[in-house]
Amino acid sequence: MDRLKVNIIIQSLMLGILMLSASIDSEARTMPQNMSVSDNGRELMLEAKAPNDLYDINEVKVIELQFNQSDWWELLEANYETSTDIPANLIYNGTTYPNVGVRFRGQTSYKNIHDSQKKSFNISIDYEDEELRLDGYKTLNLNNCYTDATFMKEILYSRMAGKYVPMFKANFVKLIINGENWGIYSNVQQLNREFYSDWFLSNDGTNWRAIIPDTTTLPKGPSGFVGFGTGFSSLNYLGDNPIRYTRYYTLKSHKVENPWDDLVTTCQKLEQLPSNLMYDSLQYFIDVDRALWHLAIENIFTDDDSYINKGGMDYYIYYDIETNRINPIIYDGNSTFMMKNVNLSLFSKEGDTKYPLINKLFANPQLKQRYIAHVRTILNEIFTLENVDSLILFYNSMIEDEVIADNKKIYSNVQYKQRINELKRFVTDRRNVLMGNGMVLSHPPTISAVNYISNEGLNQAPKIDGKVNVTANVSSGFGVFKVYLYYGTGLMGVFDKVEMFDDGTHNDGTAGDGVYGAEIPSFPSGTYVRYYIEALADNNFKTTAYSPEGAEHSVFYYQVQSATQSDSPIVINEFMASNNTIIADPQGDFDDWIEIYNKSDFDVNLSGMYLSDKLDNLKKWQFPENIVLKTGEYLIVWADENGKATPGLHANFKLSADGEVILLVNNDENGNSIMDSISFGSQETDISYGRFPNGTGDFSNMQATPGAINQAPMSVEDINSPLEMILIYPNPASDYIEISRNINHMLKSGVEAVLEIKIFNTLGECVITTPPLQDTPSAKGNLRIDISFLPCGVYYVRTGNLTRMFVKM
């Protein structure tokens, strides 16, 4: 493997480095928390990961509330209607969180339990301190499990449905108030920005609950209830005036101007688009496939508090600003697994125009078959007695003793055990009902051996605008009616559809051999391309199958490779990701900056070239026309997200002081090759990171010299540089690596040196672990590690909180 290939590997896999250190914040990230890549590296999957924090399901968490007010219960009751918090101290895992806000929550779960003290609680961790979080969460919902004597329904619902749709986290909590046991609660995640960070490319979208606002002037019933909003908050088109929508939806959060316009437009499209465009056109406004998975989940689990039953109130709507689409979100799960609904029709509300998400989508025969395919997948994969029985057995072992000891619970111990058996009976009976449906019973086509061929070979990502030919084996006892290839760009978003053929002219082998082929067009370097296969049987239903079966949340993917110039005339020479006092831009702001240097003996025209901080978006910011960098000249670009500011060159992104990547990318005519790049870790304020020797050397911390020749790197005494604490050589390597740890430097910098060394692959799997090295200043801290048995690729060496990368050739 030559040096150029090594560089290309580094560039294409650099994304993995960034994801390892990514933190959840308000900015769009490369991947949401619940997105992952399959072990074979070919599938992109979006499904719930097992939490290991507050919502860890493997243990009962204990939360204690301490109220100083003697009349705290009376205050909570008096504040229920106004949703006003009262302060309390919260104790969790030995840590006291002072002055959190507490109030009762729920509607039927509050009013229908009368004098019972087993109320549901809302806890605002940030009640007094806006920055305070508990394991990263600012709001807790402790539910009393009204209508659920097992305490398990929401936890089961979350665990099972999270494989297919965005679902709240949920686990068991034992609540203690002023020293008194309040028993087991289901701890259900709030649908706020922390939740959306787990499931979407950013959490900056608009969040509604489909419930009539508390401030409504609509007529109320005797109990003060104004209704579920059916026919109004069910994504119904109420006209073009946003004011009408504000009466039926509660806006929870937003960061865009005029957020209601997006909801109005979506409802209008859902109402007015013809049936045959319910996928091709509507997908630009609603995530149609996710909506079908949503409906399938609610129906299979007979969610009584849901879109499919109430049409409003108990579901959320999220407008994703990264894809510009509406997404329905499941709200709670205490009214699932209900025997009274065990015979619910798979097509409930199909003819009811008050439920347009059902009425309109099911009117399209192919979308109806897509829905059935998703139902079939859920029944086959998770909705089985064997699966549910094992989960119930595990949960019962955790909470049975606590439930029996709970003197405040709504239901009796006898009811607890009876309802557990009823849960199991529900799954058996519900599954039998659904499997008796003729459409579900109809055998779908079989799709296998899905592969692609690019200019780099079989299942190898293409380079520089290369086309890809996709093939799949498809068969059906009814015969094959149609096969389609869906493809889209980016990690999320819409898909284009092309028909696949078995005619011998689409790189599909021999005509009639059962191998179908189609082409994905070329895309720029760095582009993520998602794709999946849809096959229709030649029967009356046009029974449908997908590969992967989890499409569109689980799909095949590849990333178009980026070429790397081996000797670029211009380089990223110096940058500063935390500029507090060093140099101000022409507008007087101390913004991040990037210095470009022409190290060649000829002038370079930068017109059409790009700077980026995202490997999946190489064209993030383009240099304007007629920017010529003369030989030996420097150019400063301000990374301040103010791309249109003048004078000066201002990129449309900022640099993260926590570390990321900077890429200098060639113009379109030259294939957008990466001319230079730097992946960096945490940065110090007012300390730059630059090349020494100037223009050609490695990057080091230094005194900033924007627009001038770089000076010698700062010494260890000047700054603690993590990159100097651990060195790897040779790099790239083939047989072994030598790891040198500067123990003196680590101890001086406060980095613990009594730590083992671990080596991880790009999947995050630990492949090598070494014994700890000495922690004395006299220890050499050197270690030779055999890597000859490792496959070629990129690996990460970790010791403590330090990470370095090397390439195995």
User: What tens digit of pLDDT does each residue of 514-530 get?
Assistant: 999 999 999 987 789 99
- Residue 555 has what pLDDT? 98
CA distances from 727 to 634, 742, 743, 799 (A): 31, 8, 12, 11
- Residue 681 pLDDT > 50: yes
pLDDT at 806 (0 to 100): 73
Residue 175 has pLDDT above 90, yes or no: yes
Confidence of residue 30 (pLDDT cuts 50, 70, 90): low
Q: Give the pLDDT of residue 22.
A: 32
- State the pLDDT at residue 247: 93
DSSP 327: E
Assess contact for 282 and 325: CB atoms under 8 A: no
Count of Cβ atoms closer than 10 Å to residue 808 Cβ: 23
Instruction: Decide: 714 and 700 in contact? Cβ < 8 Å.
Output: yes
Among the residue ranges 191-200, 380-389, 402-411, 722-731, the one predicted with the least confidence is: 722-731
| Average confidence (pLDDT) over 614-621 | 85
Half-sphere exposure of residue 334: CA atoms within 13 angstroms, side-chain side: 20
Q: What percent of the chain has pLDDT over 70?
A: 87
Tokens of 449: 């051996």
Higher pLDDT residue, 734 or 201? 201
pTM of the entire structure?
Answer: 0.75
Segment 572-601, tens digit of pLDDT? 999 999 999 888 888 889 999 999 999 999
**pLDDT single digits (tens) 163-173:** 999 999 999 99
CB 301 within 8 A of CB 376: no
Local structure of 581: helix, strand or coil = coil
Q: What is the reported pLDDT for 26?
A: 31
Q: Is 82 exposed, middle or buried (0-12, 13-18, 19+ CB in 10 A)?
A: exposed
pLDDT at residue 722, rounded to an integer? 41
Higher pLDDT, 561 or 793: 561
Q: For residue 724, what pLDDT is reported?
A: 45
The pLDDT of residue 164: 98
For residue 374, the Cα-to-chain-centroid distance in whole angstroms is 21
Higher pLDDT, 806 or 686: 686
Higher pLDDT, 676 or 223: 676
What's the mean pLDDT when you consider all of the chain?
A: 88
Distance, in Å, from the CA atom of 217 to the CA atom of 123, rounded to the nearest integer, reads: 28
Q: What is the pLDDT of residue 660?
A: 86
Q: What does the pLDDT read at residue 2?
A: 44
For each of the domains in the chain, give its residue range(s) and CATH number, in order of start: 61-195 (no CATH), 442-559 (2.60.40.10), 565-702 (2.60.40.1260), 722-808 (2.60.40.3080)
Give the C-alpha separation, 340 to 338, whole Å.
Answer: 5
Residue 576 and residue 704 in contact, taking contact as beta carbons nearer than 8 Å: yes
Burial class (CB in 10 A: 0-12, 13-18, 19+), 479: exposed
Look at residue 85 in the predicted model and tell me its pLDDT.
98
Q: What is the largest CA-CA distance in the chain?
A: 87
pLDDT of 77 strictly over 90: yes
Model confidence at 651: pLDDT above 60: yes
Phi/psi at 161 (5° precision)? -75, -20
- More confident site: 770 or 801: 770
Higher pLDDT pick, 584 / 471: 471
pLDDT at 124 exceeding the cut of 90 = yes
Per-residue model confidence (pLDDT) at position 720: 42
**Residues whose CB is less than 8 angstroms from the CB of residue 445 and which lie 6 or more positions away in sequence, other chains included:** 474, 475, 476, 480, 535, 536, 537, 543, 544, 545
Please, which residues have CB within 8 angstroms of residue 705's CB and are 6 or more apart in sequence?
574, 688, 690, 711
